[in-house]
Amino acid sequence: MIRETNYQDVFIPEEFDEEQLMIKQTCADFLRSEVHPNLDRIDRQEEGLMVDLMDKAGELGLLGVSIPEEYGGFGKNFNTSMLVADAVGPGHSFAVALSAHTGIGTLPILYYGNDAQKEKYIPKLSSGAWKAAYCLTEPNAGSDANSGTTAAKLNEAGTHYLINGQKMWITNGGFADVFIVFAKIEDDKNLTAFIIERDFGGITMNPEEEKLGIKGSSTRQIFFNDCPVPVENMLSERGNGFKIAVNILNIGRIKLGASAIGSARAVIDQAVNYANERVQFGLQISKFGAIRYKLAEMVVRNYAVESAAYRAGQNIDDAYDALVAGGMEMGQAKLKATEQFAIECAILKVWGSEMLDYVVDEGVQIYGGMGYSADAPMERAYRDSRINRIFEGTNEVNRLLIVDMLLKRAMKGELDLMGPAQAVAGELMAIPDFAEEDDAPFAYEKKTLSNLKKAGLLVAGAAVQKLMMTLSKEQEILMNVADMIGYVYLAESTLLRVEKLYHERGEEAVSAQLDIARVYLHTAVDQVYFGGKEALNSFAEGDELKMMMVGLRRFTKTAPYNIKEARQRIAKRLIDTNRYDF
């Protein structure tokens, strides 16, 4: 929001190397041979089937891609694990089971465990010999996770903590061997994390939950009744559980965004295949403008999320490498690197899940009546998508976090937010710049993007100055500002990716990608204006409101652009290749 990024400084998915692409292909082959033929059996939760699939995935190494080699993994970087989440995304309930195991089930031990804990658990989790689950949510502690009441009390001998409480919505709960459980010791303000094995005893479960979607994912309520946990199975330090939960959720959020990319790509393939086959009024429905609009918009939104996801993934890898070079321990560096990009993680969770919901909804519409039938693929895709706006913190909570984290960093002096915001406010009093247009490649798009950043700074800065200490209670305004920030981030990421491709391949080779970037940029302009207008009307009035609205309109002004024809060209490329090929 406060500075320009050079296209040479971002990673784009076209840069994955041969080994990474082979890992991606292995995931795709596994879904094709083991998962997709068995989707109905998986949804019926056929006894032992999911465990068998996880075992087979473990044999292929898919559970240990980012686990260090010393613990039996491949030792690949964070962006490679993002690629796996993308590739496994179309796996429906299997993708949920794998992601829960490799992410929130395994990473707390890898990043926070001591040497003995890592040596005992990580090799078995990496191979799939043991399956993992994560127990944070309680009936009265969802988004407010730290309010959980599950209790841990040290026994008289001082050898074990006795865990008592109830956890719910536990993914993999029905078959997990190891649970990461959060509980409070005595009157502690914050949670403490424990590693609990199923065989410790004192663990009972409710039957599997009946759910709207992801029906094949094991989801249980779990009860701990004087469950004895050896003191050496405390994870990290006493009272550090909430910090563990927050940091691990950052990783889960960006991985969810990556998973949504793969899921959406599969739905787009199915939708264009059907549109090319379905004939109405004597024509394939892919020839109709209304259908082409849907297909193009599905592509544009997915491409934008994909551009942002792998940009952020590489940012995390680069930050990790720098921290390790500076002497920081591996686990701590992983967490610190992810924490530095926690805002991007939240953005990708929100925009990824909402992109996928849009894609599956339009997929149903393209299929028409067949889209509503369980005999066609869209029905399952539609139902399975819906959970993603709730998983890893609801989208409302994540929108609030985007702004909250940004303002906290500004208050800590980690970034100068108010200086640029005040400069933008001062610009409103100056004579508009009527300099001649720069005809260099991407000059107009960069100018437009720069103005969108100014619009975001204008509204955010004015909200901080006007509302000050009460801003944290103005959730609608915070969500308006979060939308402005998110659309700018995705528009910039898309533009940088296409600019990099342009310089590598030439304009003609990336004409479709240029259309995508420009369509998304113009969408972002409209969304930034809408969010800014709603926010300003919520806290400003009189001459102040008039002046800021003049500024908002100035910063969201664009030249005429035939967005319909651009979408037509995107759709034609998709229809001609009969698959997502961007």
Question: Residue 331: its pLDDT value, please?
Answer: 86
Which of these, 203, 127, 190, lies nearest to 163 by C-alpha position?
203
DSSP labels for 275-289?
Answer: HHH-EETTEEGGGSH
Using CB atoms within 10 A of its CB, is residue 537 exposed (0-12), middle (13-18) or buried (19+)?
A: middle
Q: Residue 405 in 3-state DSSP?
A: helix
Angle at 31 between CA 27 and CA 34, to 5 degrees: 120
State the average pLDDT for the chain. 96
Write out pLDDT tens, residues 511-539.
999 999 999 999 999 999 999 999 999 99
Instruction: Judge contact between 466 and 536, C-beta under 8 A.
Output: no
Instruction: Judge contact between 455 and 548, C-beta under 8 A.
Output: no
Q: Of residues 138, 392, 492, 499, which has the active-site annotation? A: 392
Burial 65-88 (b: 16+ CB within 10 A, else e): bbbbeebbbbebbbbbbbbbbbbb
| Residue with token string 């080994």 | 19
Which of these, 255, 242, 276, 307, lies nearest to 510 by C-alpha position?
307
Q: Is the pLDDT of residue 435 over 90?
A: no
Write out pLDDT tens, residues 87-125.
999 999 999 999 999 999 999 999 999 999 999 999 999
pLDDT above 90 covers a percentage of the chain that reads 95
Domains of the chain with bracketed CATH? 7-131 (1.10.540.10), 134-235 (2.40.110.10), 243-397 (1.20.140.10), 413-577 (1.20.140.10)
Write out pLDDT tens, residues 44-79.
999 999 999 999 999 999 999 999 999 999 999 999
Q: Is the pLDDT of residue 5 over 70?
A: yes
Q: Please list, in sequence order, all residues whose beta carbon lies within 8 angstroms of the beta carbon of residue 190, skipping any fewer than 6 positions away.
A: 146, 184, 239, 240, 241, 242, 243
Question: Residue 346: its pLDDT value, please?
Answer: 98
Three-state SS letters, 366-381: HHHHHHHCCCCHHHHH
Total H helices, total E strands in the chain: 19, 10
Question: Residue 434: its pLDDT value, please?
Answer: 61
The Cα–Cα gap between 406 and 150 comes to 32
Question: Residue 474: its pLDDT value, please?
Answer: 97
The Cα–Cα gap between 123 and 249 comes to 22
Half-sphere exposure of 564 (CA within 13 A, CB side): 3
* Residue 543, amino acid: D
Q: Are strands 178-185 and 151-154 parallel, antiparallel or unpaired?
A: parallel
pLDDT above 70 covers a percentage of the chain that reads 99
Using CB atoms within 10 A of its CB, is residue 328 exposed (0-12), middle (13-18) or buried (19+)?
A: middle
Q: Are strands 283-284 and 178-185 parallel, antiparallel or unpaired?
A: unpaired
The Cα–Cα gap between 362 and 292 comes to 11
How many CB atoms neighbour CB 261 within 10 A? 28
How many CB atoms neighbour CB 433 within 10 A? 7
Question: Residue 334: its pLDDT value, please?
Answer: 92
Alpha-carbon distances, residue 513 vs 80, 222, 234, 499, 567 (angstroms): 23, 48, 50, 9, 11
Q: At what angle do helices 78-88 and 289-325 cross, to 10 degrees?
A: 150
Write out pLDDT tens, residues 181-229.
999 999 999 999 999 999 999 999 999 999 999 999 999 999 999 999 9
Instruction: Judge contact between 236 and 193, C-beta under 8 A.
Output: yes
Instruction: Judge contact between 482 and 343, C-beta under 8 A.
Output: no
Which of these, 88, 120, 91, 126, lies nearest to 106 by C-alpha position?
126
Write out pLDDT tens, residues 449-463.
999 999 999 999 999
Write out pLDDT tens, residues 263-280.
999 999 999 999 999 999
Q: Is the pLDDT of residue 302 over 70?
A: yes
* Residue 552, amino acid: L
Active site residue 392: yes
How large is the C-alpha radius of gyration of the chain? 25
SS3 content of the chain, % helix, strand, coil (to 5): 65, 10, 25
Instruction: Judge contact between 225 and 164, C-beta under 8 A.
Output: yes
* Residue 6, amino acid: N
